[in-house]
Amino acid sequence: MDGDIVVFKDFLPDLVARLDAEPDTLFFQCDQKEVGECSSGGCQNCCTGLIAWSHGHDQGIFDNSNKKAWAEHPDDQVWVNKELGKGKIPYTTLPRTLYPNGAYISTIANYTDAFLLHFNHRVANMKVFEMKRIGKWLIPY
């Protein structure tokens, strides 16, 4: 889980239930920049900010020991989505109303069941500004 995620309530029971129901599946937060469910055909931009999987079921997707391939584009999210695109690993995205990303910042008050909010789509000082604006910045400076 990324450090720019604000947790509203305990999400572990929900994730454990999902993993129990689909133990071979990797669960990702969606990183699409629009509000709404993922496009038909599945999410094409899984977020590596929040991932859940059962031990041993990742099939090596996070192994970036191939230094040549990693050097071509050293970005974990690009790496993982490229591997997911090969169709060998079962995955799905978590419901965006429960696990919203930065696209939901301006409408988060409408999602009272949300477990968390990921402040992706914001960078550096803008991220801090947005977190302070909605009262979720916890560092005292």
The string of pLDDT tens digits covering residues 86-120 is: 888 899 999 989 999 888 888 888 888 999 999 88
CA distance 141 to 125: 12
Whether the predicted pLDDT of 40 surpasses 70: no
CA distance 141 to 13: 33
Instruction: Please tell me which residue, 15 or 134, carries the higher pLDDT value.
Output: 15
pLDDT given for residue 51 in this prediction:
93
In a domain, 35, yes or no: yes
% of the chain surpassing 90 pLDDT: 30
pTM equals: 0.85
Query: What confidence tier does 41 reach under pLDDT thresholds 50, 70, 90?
Result: low
In a domain, 81, yes or no: yes
pLDDT given for residue 15 in this prediction:
97
Query: What confidence tier does 82 reach under pLDDT thresholds 50, 70, 90?
Result: confident
> What amino acid is encoded at 4 in this protein?
D
Torsion of CA 124, 48, 114, 13, to 10 degrees: -140
pLDDT given for residue 39 in this prediction:
60
pLDDT given for residue 26 in this prediction:
94
Instruction: Please tell me which residue, 68 or 116, carries the higher pLDDT value.
Output: 116
Instruction: Please tell me which residue, 82 or 26, carries the higher pLDDT value.
Output: 26
Single out the residue of 120, 121, 44 nearest to residue 80, CA to CA: 44
What is the rounded average pLDDT of the residues 44-54? Answer: 90
Residues in the chain: 141
In a domain, 140, yes or no: no
The residue range of the domain holding 79 is 5-133
pLDDT given for residue 141 in this prediction:
66
In a domain, 43, yes or no: yes
> Does residue 61 contact residue 133 with C-beta atoms inside 8 Å?
no
In a domain, 120, yes or no: yes
DSSP state of 27: E
Q: Is 41 left (phi over 0), alpha (psi -120 to 50) or beta?
A: left
Number of domains the chain is built from: 1
Q: Is residue 12 helix, strand or coil?
A: helix
